[in-house]
Amino acid sequence: MTSLPIRYARSALLSAVLMIGLAAPAQAQLGVAGGLNFESAGDIETSTNDNATLDNSTGYHIGVVYELGLGAATLRPGFFYRRVGTFEFSTSALPQGENRFDVSAWQIPVDLRFTVLPTPLVSPYVLAGPMVTLPRGEDEFDDVTEEVSYSLNVGIGANISLPVTSLKLQPELRYEFGATKFIKDDFEIGGETFSPQDSPRFSAFGLRLNVIF
């Protein structure tokens, strides 16, 4: 039986895909986005000191967004691929070269942004909103991550209207608060069982540029 969190995640994914698919380019509401994320998710701490350290903590994200104007506020769902980073286990139970695993994710943020100072060319704004994340470990580490995780995004940005064109640029500084963990309470690698004492949550600063058509 499919759990409720998975059903909610799939419903959110379907809704985002439908909204993006129905967007008309002439309405200047569909866009592409990408940037860097600087992870501070923390390490995997276990009671046996066979810990995993987030060595490579600088990742990237790329995806599509859809803007729906609501007066002074704008609703902006999106769909992103995110490269999170690389964990390295200190345990001797895993052969050298097989003690590292990469974490990536599919993410569905729903930002609500509020214009702070409406001006013709550059309009600063603040944003906040929830995000559904479908994390995944690669290769033999598929079973390490949870099927779904939840976060909250906050940030600041500016809406820049380019003269003579319908394009809008939106540079942003964002921060993600992890609401739920993305590493399982118990998992097995190389015949050894790991029980993290404090499973990491997605937490990261991000730099993003949205290009709205």
Domains of the chain: 4-212 (2.40.160.20)
Give the DSSP letter of residue 144: G
pLDDT of residue 202: 82
When pLDDT is cut at 50, 70 and 90, the band that residue 2 belongs to is very low
**Two tokens, residue 113:** 């942004």
Going by C-alpha positions, the residue among 67, 69, 65, 77 that lies closest to residue 109 is 77
Q: Are strands 68-70 and 30-39 parallel, antiparallel or unpaired?
A: unpaired
**Which of 70-84, 169-183, 196-210 bottoms out in mean pLDDT, i.e. has the lowest?**
196-210
Whats the size of the chain, residue-wise?
A: 213
pLDDT of residue 25: 40
pLDDT of residue 17: 47
Q: Please state, rounded to an integer, the average pLDDT across all residues of the chain.
A: 79
pLDDT digits (tens, 9 = 90+) for 110-165: 999 999 988 888 999 999 999 999 998 776 667 778 889 999 999 999 999 998 88
Amino acid at 84: V
The rounded distance, in Å, linking the Cα atoms of 52 and 44 is 5
pLDDT of residue 20: 45
Q: Is the pLDDT of residue 28 over 70?
A: no
Mean pLDDT highest for which of 40-44, 133-137, 158-162, 195-199? 158-162
The rounded distance, in Å, linking the Cα atoms of 126 and 123 is 10
Q: Is the pLDDT of residue 82 over 70?
A: yes
Cα angle 43, 180, 101 (rounded to 5 degrees) comes to 40
Q: H or E element: which one contains 9?
A: helix 4-22
When pLDDT is cut at 50, 70 and 90, the band that residue 192 belongs to is low
86-117 core/surface letters (b: 16 or more CB in 10 A; e: else): bbebebeebeeeebbbbbbbbbbbbbebebee
pLDDT of residue 87: 75
The rounded distance, in Å, linking the Cα atoms of 149 and 165 is 39
**The model's pTM:** 0.77
pLDDT of residue 103: 84
CB contact at 8 A, 34 and 60 = yes
pLDDT digits (tens, 9 = 90+) for 165-175: 889 999 999 99
Give the DSSP letter of residue 27: G
List Cβ neighbours of 6 (8 Å cut-off, separation of 6 or more).
147, 148
